[in-house]
């Protein structure tokens, strides 16, 4: 018994050290920099800077776009997951694969490819023209950013929802039908509530990266549209004001933590995991 | 005879090109406890699911109370199902589970509350309204699954191996519980199981199935005492199934020894199968027996001794309250009434279809 | 019938959405014209040019090296971590798991800047080393995520039985537990490799001047215009992965036993 304990400590020590050095301390440093000024004195200025007109605008825009893309991801992913779940029970790994596969082509290139597709003389407009439909001019607008977000993060919504759907015992659905519920009632009262952990997990997985992205906005939004991610990135890489960058990040982290807490409450058993 | 409630007419069904049911016909009466019994893959669950509306037959009709319900969805059918592994709604508490069907039908709240109370009392789980399904034992979950089905006052309750996940003791208790429930409710129970003991204990009628065909329909006594073919004899209880020749009416040659029997009409010198239940084999002193042999195995089983006796080149299974140690020379005697003669199947296929007519 | 057709169309459209950019990139890699705006005819010249382009090849090696080392290190650390976590009490386990998941659930930009601040404070020189440390850090949760469920399924008594039969704990682990969790370890490793390969944001904050991975190289090229060699390279990578996956899927798989009774 005692021997076990020592082995356990020996096994866990390196990892606990790793976690501390590379996860906890760095996060602590963000807080340290965010709550001090250049002289090292405590200040809330960096955090409160979020309320300035320019930063607030970026934050609200980020929230708006990420909420919109999360909603669209949900609306696209849920029916898709239902169809996939009904198709064949034993295709699980294949379906995961199909959504992971695009990641093997560089994320930046894939997003850039949308420029080619969306441009005024791009592929999509050629097709629309051919079909005698009005052309689509969304490149360098918030709509293009939303599209980029949905494109990049849709798999993060599909996989947890799909997983929670295939986990439902088909007899539970049968039982609802047996007790007199029609298909719609069965969905509302049984299927959807049972997939809620997956949905919440999907929402977290889409909302957080969408809220904090600076790449998608840079690639598809032109240079005019600034999201909060772009603001923070510029503070670090161009302006060199780590204190301000960290302060703004703290505000962002409040959103993220709020999001994580909600998903933790709904997903006690880890049912909504992606894999 | 009681009124017929369900008629399955020429039902066929295949999955992925594999025939699971082949032109099955079955009539089920009001207030009957009918058991579909057979090994896994025999089509019993499919038959039940066709009645429940979860599987559409490729061919044939399902008549319920005189009406064709073949294409009716499950929610429009007046029968309820108790599923394998219970299929409770894990995101609802017990009261919500039981109320589910009634709420769908927009019953008034007071009616629903009364029904929940009544159903929980019926399954001996009073006061469990606010518990969650996950917090109950397997046996309790099973009772809730039954309660959830019966509050809807179905004319027929379909039970799909409902006791399969329970341990032996609990299973036996639940068997009595189910008989009591059926008598109290006065409705038809259609029960699927692969456990022959369960079937014998509870049923009014047993339907033995194998490979998509009905092998025999009858009361537990008939099925046990007069199996119509080797499959039924082998599946129901332990038995000695022996190659034999029917010499003439009421005389059969078993392992070269003549035995008197009571069956007639098999013809002369016809090869047959003979079924003798282990408890019907009498062990005597060698001189008194029709056949002589040696005890090769002995196990004490509580109620009786289980012995294996090597006699005439066949290993006889014998149940007896009398003990004969291993190595004892014994005689074997069988009462003519206890020798069950069956036609030999002419081919593999025949074995399955043999007694459909 | 109509319903299933509509479903198929829907699934098809979603896959078109997911794969259209990839098709576009593949097409562009064969485009003789230097700009992506117009089609200049079929050509393989960018594939030839790719191997002459020192910078891109260097970035490719960096990317592969980082992904390989980081995923391997993360797999070892993550698997050992799983064993350790599995042996912990409930409370401690929840806390450790919570911290483990931070790099996965947290925004990448926050992980990136927090590691950047750490490396600055430690006075480390920014380069391959800092990128590696960061990649290992964000890869570990993917390994833990896929090994942990396997670990939980593994019957503890099997391990105890091995000990009972005279195996040392280490031997018992490798003979009995490891084969059981191996699928989880492998898929975790693959996941980590993929994540490392595709990462841009964290690398962006933790790389030093002069060291580039494919992602950061592409990012710096965005304004000037992407070199078509990049399209050629990513097409090659994609096709290789596709072939590998095809081969893996061709190998005999366990027969699916649909539970139809």
Reported ipTM: 0.85
C255 confidence band (pLDDT: 50, 70, 90): very low
Nearest to B126 by CA among B102, B144, B103: B144
Q: Report how far residue B322's alpha carbon sits from residue B306's, in angstroms, rounded to the nearest whole number.
A: 10
Contact status of A24 with chain C (Cβ, < 8 Å): yes
- The answer to whether A12 contacts C85, with C-beta atoms less than 8 Å apart, is yes
- The answer to whether C117 contacts A23, with C-beta atoms less than 8 Å apart, is no
- Helix or strand or coil: residue B264? coil
| First vs last C-alpha separation in chain B | 21
**C160 Cβ partners below 8 Å, 6+ apart?**
none
- The answer to whether B44 contacts C261, with C-beta atoms less than 8 Å apart, is yes
The pLDDT value given to residue C254: 39
Calculate mean pLDDT across residues C172-176: 83
Given a cut of 50, whether residue A27 has pLDDT beyond it is yes
| Angle A68-A70-A74 from CA coordinates, rounded to 5° | 115
| Contacting partners of chain A (3+ CB pairs under 8 A) | B, C
What mean pLDDT is reported for chain A?
87
Q: Which of C36, C99, C187 comes nearest A24 by C-beta?
A: C99
Contact status of A181 with chain B (Cβ, < 8 Å): yes
A39 confidence band (pLDDT: 50, 70, 90): confident
Given a cut of 90, whether residue C131 has pLDDT beyond it is yes
- The answer to whether C261 contacts B41, with C-beta atoms less than 8 Å apart, is yes
The pLDDT value given to residue B5: 93
Given a cut of 70, whether residue A3 has pLDDT beyond it is no
Q: Which of A171, A194, A196 comes nearest B84 by C-beta?
A: A171
- What is the nearest CA distance from C260 to chain B, expressed in angstroms? 8
Q: Report how far residue C126's alpha carbon sits from residue C209's, in angstroms, rounded to the nearest whole number.
A: 8
- The two tokens of residue A113 are 């490819």
- What is the nearest CA distance from A180 to chain C, expressed in angstroms? 23
Calculate mean pLDDT across residues A68-90: 89
Edge-to-edge strands, sheet with B257-260? B257-260, B251-254, B240-248, B270-276, B340-343
Question: Do residues B210 and B24 make contact, with C-beta atoms less than 8 angstroms apart?
Answer: no
Q: Which of residues B162 and A73 earns the better pLDDT score? A: A73
Q: How many helices (H) and strands (E) does chain A have?
A: 14, 0
Q: Report how far residue B33's alpha carbon sits from residue B49's, in angstroms, rounded to the nearest whole number.
A: 17
Q: Report how far residue B282's alpha carbon sits from residue B232's, in angstroms, rounded to the nearest whole number.
A: 23
| % of chain A surpassing 90 pLDDT | 51
- The answer to whether C108 contacts A22, with C-beta atoms less than 8 Å apart, is no
Strands (E), C13-152: none
CB contacts, 8 Å: C259 with chain B: none
A199 class by beta-carbon count within 10 Å (0-12 exposed, 13-18 middle, 19+ buried): buried
Q: Report how far residue C117's alpha carbon sits from residue A27's, in angstroms, rounded to the nearest whole number.
A: 9
Could you tell me how many CB contacts below 8 A there are between chain A and chain B?
Answer: 64
C250 confidence band (pLDDT: 50, 70, 90): low
Question: Do residues C175 and C100 make contact, with C-beta atoms less than 8 angstroms apart?
Answer: no
Closest residue in C to B21 (Cα) is: C261
Calculate mean pLDDT across residues A41-62: 91
The pLDDT value given to residue B353: 41
Calculate mean pLDDT across residues A26-43: 91
Question: Do residues B258 and B251 make contact, with C-beta atoms less than 8 angstroms apart?
Answer: yes
Residue spans of chain B under pLDDT 70: 1, 345-357
Residues 205-244 of A with CB under 8 A from C: 208-209, 211-215, 218-219, 229, 232-233, 236-237, 242
Q: Report how far residue B162's alpha carbon sits from residue B88's, in angstroms, rounded to the nearest whole number.
A: 13
Give per-residue burial for A151-164: e unless 16+ CB within 10 Å, then b. bbbbbbbbbbbbbb
Q: Report how far residue A92's alpha carbon sits from residue C256's, in angstroms, rounded to the nearest whole number.
A: 12
**C50 Cβ partners below 8 Å, 6+ apart?**
C56, C57, C229, C232, C233, C236
What mean pLDDT is reported for chain C?
86
Residues 29-58 of B with CB under 8 A from C: 40-41, 43-46
The pLDDT value given to residue C253: 44
Contact status of A188 with chain B (Cβ, < 8 Å): no
Nearest to B334 by CA among B269, B252, B249: B252
Given a cut of 80, whether residue A208 has pLDDT beyond it is yes
The pLDDT value given to residue A126: 82
Report pLDDT digits (tens) over B156-202: 999 999 888 788 888 888 899 899 999 989 999 999 999 888 999 99
Given a cut of 80, whether residue A270 has pLDDT beyond it is no
- The two tokens of residue A124 are 């999509």
């Amino acid at each position: 018994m005692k021997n076990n304990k020592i082995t356990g400590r020996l096994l866990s020590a390196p990892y606990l050290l790793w976690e501390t050095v590379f996860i906890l301390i760095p996060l602590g440093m963000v807080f340290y920099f965010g709550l001090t000024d250049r002289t090292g004195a405590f200040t809330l200025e960096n955090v409160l800077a979020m309320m300035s007109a320019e930063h607030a605008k970026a934050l609200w825009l980020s929230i708006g776009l990420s909420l919109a893309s999360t909603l669209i991801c949900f609306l696209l992913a849920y029916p898709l997951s239902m169809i996939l779940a009904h198709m064949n029970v034993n295709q699980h790994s294949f379906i995961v694969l199909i959504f992971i596969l695009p990641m093997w082509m560089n994320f930046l290139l894939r997003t850039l490819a949308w420029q080619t597709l969306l441009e005024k003389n791009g592929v999509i407009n050629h097709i629309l023209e051919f079909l005698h439909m009005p052309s689509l001019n969304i490149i360098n607008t918030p709509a293009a950013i939303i599209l980029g977000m949905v494109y990049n993060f849709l798999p993060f919504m599909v996989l947890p929802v799909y997983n929670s759907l295939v986990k439902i015992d088909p007899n539970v659905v049968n039982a609802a039908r047996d007790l007199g519920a029609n298909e719609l009632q069965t969905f509302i009262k049984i299927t959807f509530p049972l997939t809620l952990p997956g949905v919440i997990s999907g929402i977290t997985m889409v909302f957080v990266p969408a809220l904090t992205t600076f790449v998608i906005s840079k690639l598809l939004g032109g240079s005019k549209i600034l999201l909060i991610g772009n603001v923070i990135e510029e503070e670090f890489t161009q302006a060199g004001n780590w204190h301000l960058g960290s302060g703004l990040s703290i505000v962002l982290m409040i959103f993220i933590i709020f999001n994580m807490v909600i998903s933790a409450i709904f997903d006690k058993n880890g049912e909504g995991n992606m894999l | 005879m009681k009124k017929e409630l369900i008629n399955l007419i020429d039902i066929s069904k295949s999955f992925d090109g594999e025939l699971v049911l082949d032109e099955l016909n079955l009539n089920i009466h009001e207030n009957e406890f009918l058991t579909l019994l057979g090994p896994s893959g025999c089509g019993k669950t499919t038959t039940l699911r066709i009645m429940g509306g979860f599987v559409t037959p490729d061919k044939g009709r399902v008549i319920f109370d005189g009406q064709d319900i073949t294409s009716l969805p499950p929610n429009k059918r007046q029968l309820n199902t108790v599923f394998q592994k219970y299929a409770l709604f894990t995101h609802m508490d017990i009261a919500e589970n039981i109320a589910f069907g009634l709420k769908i039908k927009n019953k008034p709240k007071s009616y629903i509350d009364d029904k929940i109370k009544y159903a929980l009392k019926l399954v001996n789980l009073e006061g469990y309204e606010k518990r969650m399904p996950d917090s109950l034992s397997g046996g309790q979950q099973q009772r809730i699954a039954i309660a959830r089905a019966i509050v809807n006052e179905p004319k027929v309750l379909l039970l799909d191996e409902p006791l399969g996940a329970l341990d032996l003791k609990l299973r036996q208790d639940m068997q009595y519980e189910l008989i009591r429930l059926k008598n109290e409710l006065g409705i038809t129970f259609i029960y699927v199981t692969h456990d022959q003991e369960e079937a014998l204990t509870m049923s009014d009628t047993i339907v033995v199935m194998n490979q998509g065909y009905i092998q025999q329909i009858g009361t537990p006594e008939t099925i046990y005492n007069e199996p119509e073919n080797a499959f039924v004899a082998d599946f129901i209880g332990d038995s000695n199934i022996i190659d034999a020749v029917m010499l003439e009416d009421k005389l059969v040659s078993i392992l070269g020894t003549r035995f008197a029997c009571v069956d007639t009409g098999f013809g002369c010198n016809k090869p047959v199968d003979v079924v003798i239940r282990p408890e019907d084999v009498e062990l005597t002193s060698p001189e008194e027996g029709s056949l002589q042999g040696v005890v090769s195995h002995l196990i004490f089983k509580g109620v009786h001794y289980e012995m294996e006796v090597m006699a005439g080149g066949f290993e006889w299974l014998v149940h007896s309250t009398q003990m004969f140690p291993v190595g004892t020379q014994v005689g074997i005697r069988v009462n003519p009434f206890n020798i069950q003669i069956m036609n030999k199947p002419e081919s593999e296929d025949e074995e399955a279809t043999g007694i459909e007519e | 019938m109509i319903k299933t057709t509509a479903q198929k169309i829907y699934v098809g459209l979603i896959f078109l959405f997911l794969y259209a950019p990839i098709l576009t990139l593949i097409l562009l890699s064969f485009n003789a014209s230097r700009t992506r705006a117009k089609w200049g005819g079929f050509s393989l010249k960018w594939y030839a040019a790719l191997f002459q382009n020192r910078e891109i090849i260097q970035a490719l090696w960096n990317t592969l090296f980082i992904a390989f080392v980081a995923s391997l290190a993360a797999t070892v650390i993550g698997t050992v971590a799983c064993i350790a976590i599995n042996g912990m009490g409930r409370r401690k386990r929840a806390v450790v798991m919570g911290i483990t998941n931070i790099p996965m659930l947290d925004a990448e930009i926050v992980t990136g800047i927090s590691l950047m601040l750490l490396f600055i404070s430690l006075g480390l020189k920014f380069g391959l080393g800092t990128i590696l440390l960061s990649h290992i850090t964000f890869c570990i949760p993917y390994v833990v995520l896929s090994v942990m469920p396997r670990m939980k399924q593994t019957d503890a008594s099997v391990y105890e039985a091995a000990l009972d039969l005279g195996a040392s704990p280490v031997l018992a682990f490798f003979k009995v537990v490891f084969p059981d969790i191996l699928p989880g370890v492998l898929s975790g490793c693959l996941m980590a490799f993929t994540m490392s390969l595709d990462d841009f944001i964290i690398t962006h904050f933790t790389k030093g001047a002069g060291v580039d991975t494919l992602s950061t190289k592409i990012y710096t090229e965005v304004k000037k215009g992407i070199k078509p060699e990049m399209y050629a390279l990513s097409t090659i990578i994609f096709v290789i992965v596709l072939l590998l996956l095809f081969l893996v899927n061709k190998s005999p798989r366990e027969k699916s036993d649909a539970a139809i009774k």
